[in-house]
């Protein structure tokens, strides 16, 4: 009977206290885990990018007047695109991305199907180029679904939009006598020359005079805008697909922007070897209608800057010191 009362005393006093502490411990642990699962800030992702890139500039195109965006897309100008990147997530819905990419852009007037419409002037011009591009950018990728859904940290399918600021290096070249020749040192439009580019029509006596453009830089600034969708296999690996449009602030990626140059200007400003090469590659020799080419005649529409666009596939790996997070949706 004494043991019974002792057991009763224990169960009526100590046991409830133990159970209470046990429940509190479980709740605290559960809440701590829930808090950790709700907060994935501080995680990093690193990954690789592959895809295809195309150039939209002054060379090449399709029927009619040359236009921006995809109207003048030529499939043969599509080139491989590769890169690496690192993402930092200050919030579950925001990634700050540092990316480095490499690609080649090309363009050729010979790709135009001439129907004797407005595209004929570009077709007759008959210029071509390539430029290898190395770029780096910092971007902000926003995942809209994660802003509004607080029940799931990461959705298995997560669309996103990105925008940023980048710096790229380019070097326009053309293929001549079995090798690629750098075009910028030849000043094919008289970039950096002093004086004016002048032409007098022998029939009318009318004189046209335009200033030479400033020498352009091989470093350019661009603004990337990305539309993509990310697919999470689990809370570590993810695959993304999308497209990135680049607005640049230069029209010289293809070395074509302004006017044909008076050939004598090459002799006055370049070495004999460079002058001879510039005369061959500035457009007079390539033209299908050379009798129509003269100084101060427009080579291109200088009102629109060049751009290039790529579609991509990325594989990323997430890591960090915090706990694994829940994904779903």
CA–CA gap between residue 98 and residue 32 (Å, rounded): 32
Q: How confident is the model at residue 9, as a pLDDT? A: 42
106 and 62 in a common domain = yes
Does residue 5 sit in the same domain as residue 64? no
What is the structure's pLDDT at 34?
39
Q: Which two tokens stand for residue 168?
A: 């790229």
Same domain, 199 and 139: yes
Residues 121 and 26 grouped into a single domain: no
Residue-level pLDDT at 274: 95
Rounded distance between C-alpha atoms, residue 266 and residue 274, angstroms: 8
Phi, psi (5° rounding) for residue 222?
A: -140, 160
Shared domain check, 27 and 61: no
Residues 176, 308, single domain; the answer is: yes
| Domain match, 163 and 24 both | no
Residue range(s) defining the domain that contains residue 220: 41-328
> Are 3 and 132 members of one domain?
no
Return d(Cα 61, Cα 46) in angstroms, integer. 37
The pLDDT of residue 230 is 94
Do 185 and 260 share a domain, yes or no? yes
The answer on 30 and 108 residing in a single domain is no
Q: Which two tokens stand for residue 171?
A: 């070097």
1 and 135, same domain (yes or no): no
Report pLDDT for 148. Answer: 80
CATH code of the domain containing 103: 2.40.160.20
Sign of CA dihedral 23, 24, 25, 31: positive
Other C-beta atoms closer than 10 Å to the C-beta of 179 total 7
Digits of tens for pLDDT over the chain (329 positions)?
Answer: 444 334 444 344 444 443 443 433 334 333 333 333 334 667 889 999 999 999 987 786 655 465 555 656 667 889 999 999 999 999 888 999 999 999 999 988 888 787 777 667 878 888 899 999 999 999 999 999 888 876 666 778 889 999 999 999 999 999 999 999 999 999 999 999 998 899 888 888 899 999 999 999 999 999 999 999 999 887 788 999 999 999 999 999 999 999 999 999 999 999 999 999 999 999 888 888 888 888 999 888 878 899 999 999 999 998 765 545 555 55
- Domain tally for the chain? 2
- Shared domain for 257 and 292, answered yes or no, is yes
């Amino acid at each position: 009977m004494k043991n019974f009362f002792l057991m009763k005393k224990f169960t009526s006093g100590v046991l409830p206290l133990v159970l209470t502490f046990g429940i509190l411990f479980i709740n605290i642990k559960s809440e701590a885990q829930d808090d950790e699962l709700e907060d994935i800030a501080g995680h990093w992702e690193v990954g690789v990018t592959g895809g295809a890139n195309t150039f939209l500039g002054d060379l090449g195109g399709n029927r009619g007047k040359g236009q921006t965006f995809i109207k003048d897309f030529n499939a043969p100008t599509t080139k491989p695109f590769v890169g690496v990147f690192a993402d930092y997530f200050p919030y579950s819905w925001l990634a700050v991305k540092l990316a480095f990419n490499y690609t080649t852009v090309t363009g050729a007037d010979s790709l135009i199907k001439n129907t004797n419409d407005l595209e004929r002037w570009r077709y007759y011009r008959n210029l071509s180029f390539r430029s290898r591009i190395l770029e780096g950018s910092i971007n902000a990728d926003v995942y809209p679904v994660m802003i509004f859904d607080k029940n799931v940290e990461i959705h298995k399918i997560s669309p996103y939009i990105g925008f940023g600021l980048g710096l790229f290096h380019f070097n326009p070249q053309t293929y001549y006598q079995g090798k690629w020749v750098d075009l910028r040192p030849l000043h094919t439009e008289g970039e950096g020359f002093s004086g004016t580019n002048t032409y007098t029509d022998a029939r009318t006596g009318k004189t046209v005079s335009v200033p030479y453009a400033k020498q352009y830089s091989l470093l350019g600034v661009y603004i990337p805008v990305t539309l993509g969708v990310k697919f999470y296999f689990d809370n570590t690996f993810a695959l993304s697909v999308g497209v990135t449009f680049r607005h640049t602030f230069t029209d010289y990626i293809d070395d074509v922007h302004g006017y044909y140059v008076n050939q004598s200007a090459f002799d006055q400003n370049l070495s004999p070897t460079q002058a001879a090469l510039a005369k061959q590659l500035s457009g007079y020799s390539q033209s299908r209608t050379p009798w129509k080419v003269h100084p101060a005649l427009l080579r291109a529409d200088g009102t629109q800057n060049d751009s290039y666009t790529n579609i991509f596939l990325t594989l990323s790996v997430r890591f960090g010191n915090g706990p694994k997070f829940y994904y779903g949706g």
